[in-house]
């Protein structure tokens, strides 16, 4: 059974290094339609209400949500290695390092949940990140979706979470975990930024023209994120001013849709 089919989250963490090495060295395995889970999977709209960070349960729930995101990020790295065996060897080597790092982030979240007195599975999870990609993606599509849109949005969200935790007396442990993850995610997103441009150059595509057009062409697949764009973190992660503007314009274009959902209209 592959790491993507395995349900037990700790088994996934244990086997992530070997699974990536197997794929980078020319091995293969099938990609399942749905990744294995040892906790309930529900659409995020059906998840129970969240408590604030002044409650330890609220912090644990946030780390649980973050663990689910890191789990999917780790699995998406494995999936890309499996589905793009002909990608540049240097890309695959670097992606392996990013993917193993996502496993470390997942472990930090799980340990943080336990330290707060809760456990993995106390709340349901979603698979929205996994569902945002498909076997029909090109390599440029996959890099944009996973590393520039999903993980880029994660940078924006992480900065906001840290700001909220700064005002919580009992939030130092949780803030340390989120802070470490958000700092290291800058490198993950920059990996996507650099390789997006390298692949564009190889395919004789102008990245300045391509970014906004490609993101809009994929909008039917992208989860709609509401976080404000953090310009400083995006720059550190390799985004150009033009790409940041494109992200702002894209966010503005989906705000009315999100507001309608919130109002139930």
Look up residue 96 and give its two tokens: 């392996």
Q: Has residue 262 got a pLDDT over 70? A: no
Q: How far apart are CA 16 and CA 13, in angstroms?
A: 5
Q: Is residue 4 part of a domain?
A: no
Tokens of 187: 């490198």
Residue-level pLDDT at 261? 47
Does residue 44 have a pLDDT over 50?
yes
Residue 78 inside a domain? The answer is yes
Would residue 198 count as lying in a domain? yes
Residue 185 counted as domain residue: yes
Residue 2 lies in a domain: no
Q: What is the mean pLDDT of residues 50-67?
A: 96
Helix, strand or coil, per DSSP, at residue 232 = helix
Number of structural domains (the chain) is: 1
Is there a domain that residue 3 lies in?
no
Q: Is residue 142 part of a domain?
A: yes
Tally of CB atoms within 10 A around 236:
15
pTM: 0.94
Q: Is residue 1 part of a domain?
A: no
Higher pLDDT, 258 or 107: 107
Average pLDDT in the 55-77 region? 97
Average pLDDT along the chain: 94
* Class of residue 231 by CB neighbours under 10 A (exposed 0-12, middle 13-18, buried 19+): middle
Check residue 257 and give its pLDDT. 58
Angstrom distance (rounded) from CA 6 to CA 95: 21
Q: State the CATH number of the domain containing residue 178.
A: 1.20.1260
Give the per-residue pLDDT at 2.
Answer: 93
Domain residues for the domain of 50 are 9-263
pLDDT tens, 75-110?
Answer: 999 999 999 999 999 999 999 999 999 999 999 999
**Burial tier of 14 (Cβ tally within 10 Å: 0-12, 13-18, 19+):** middle
């Amino acid at each position: 059974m592959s790491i993507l089919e395995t349900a037990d989250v700790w088994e996934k963490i244990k086997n992530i290094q070997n699974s990536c090495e197997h794929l980078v060295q020319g091995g293969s395995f099938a990609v399942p339609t749905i990744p294995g889970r040892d906790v309930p999977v529900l659409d995020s709209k059906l998840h129970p209400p969240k408590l604030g960070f002044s409650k330890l349960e609220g912090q644990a729930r946030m780390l649980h949500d973050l663990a689910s995101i890191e789990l999917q990020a780790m699995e998406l790295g494995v999936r890309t290695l499996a589905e793009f065996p002909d990608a540049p060897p240097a890309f695959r080597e670097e992606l392996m390092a990013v993917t193993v790092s996502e496993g470390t982030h997942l472990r930090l979240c799980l340990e943080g949940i336990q330290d707060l007195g809760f456990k993995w599975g106390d709340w349901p999870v979603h698979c929205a990140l996994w569902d945002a990609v498909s076997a029909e993606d090109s390599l440029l599509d996959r890099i944009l979706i996973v590393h520039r849109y999903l993980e880029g949005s994660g940078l924006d969200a992480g900065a906001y979470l840290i700001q909220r935790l700064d005002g919580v007396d009992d939030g130092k442990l949780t803030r340390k975990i989120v802070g470490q993850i958000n700092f290291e995610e800058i490198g993950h997103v920059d990996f996507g930024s650099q390789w997006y441009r390298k692949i564009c150059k190889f395919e004789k595509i102008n990245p300045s023209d391509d970014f906004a057009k490609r993101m809009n062409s994929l909008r039917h697949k992208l989860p709609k994120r509401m976080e404000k764009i953090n310009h400083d973190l995006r720059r550190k992660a390799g985004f150009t001013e033009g790409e940041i503007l494109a992200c702002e314009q894209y966010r503005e274009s989906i705000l009315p849709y999100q507001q309608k959902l919130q109002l139930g209209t």
